[in-house]
Copies of this chain bind each other. A is one copy, B any other.
Amino acid sequence: MVVRMDDACCGGLHSDAVADVRSGQLAEPLVLTLSEAFKALADPTRIRMLHCLLRRELCVCDLAEALGMTQSAVSHQLRYLRTLRIVKNRRDGNAIYYTCDDAHIAGLLQMGIDHAMHAGANEGG
């Protein structure tokens, strides 16, 4: 394999460091999958929605009311989460109930919450 060091800065001094880091790189598809997952959690609205839907099943309008959002906004975000298979829905009459039983997302969110709660305390500066 060819490792280009044409435009190497540092006079190419650290080519070993670059090679080392390069060998440990994450595969591109993995990186994309990862960023996609984190992106789902990278918005206040979606965090609130998921936190609710992890707690219990809710129909769209109840979710909208609980969050003080319009039905349309909630529905658009639900479509987003549905596309990523993060939430599921079931129909009952003309209401549609959503849930989130995605263990991965739940784990990441919970870990984030735990971290955020502790943060600020050990911000040594």
Which residues of B sit under 8 angstroms from A55, Cβ to Cβ?
20-21, 24
| Min CB gap A11→B, angstroms | 10
Interface residues of A in 90-105 (CB under 8 A from B): 95, 104
Which label, helix, strand, loop or mixed, suits the secondary structure of the A interface?
helix
Interchain CB contact under 8 A, B112 and A38: yes
The residue on B at minimum CB distance from A109 is: B34
Cα–Cα, bound, A24→B58 (Å): 14
| Min CB gap A41→B, angstroms | 4
Interchain CB contact under 8 A, B116 and A34: yes
Which residues of B sit under 8 angstroms from A37, Cβ to Cβ?
112, 115-116
| Min CB gap A100→B, angstroms | 13
A sample of 26 cross-chain residue pairs with beta-carbon separation below 8 angstroms, ordered by A number, consists of A7-B65, A9-B65, A10-B59, A10-B95, A14-B59, A14-B62, A17-B62, A18-B65, A21-B55, A21-B56, A22-B66, A24-B52, A25-B48, A25-B51, A30-B116, A31-B47, A33-B116, A34-B41, A34-B113, A34-B116, A35-B43, A38-B112, A42-B42, A104-B119, A107-B115, A108-B115
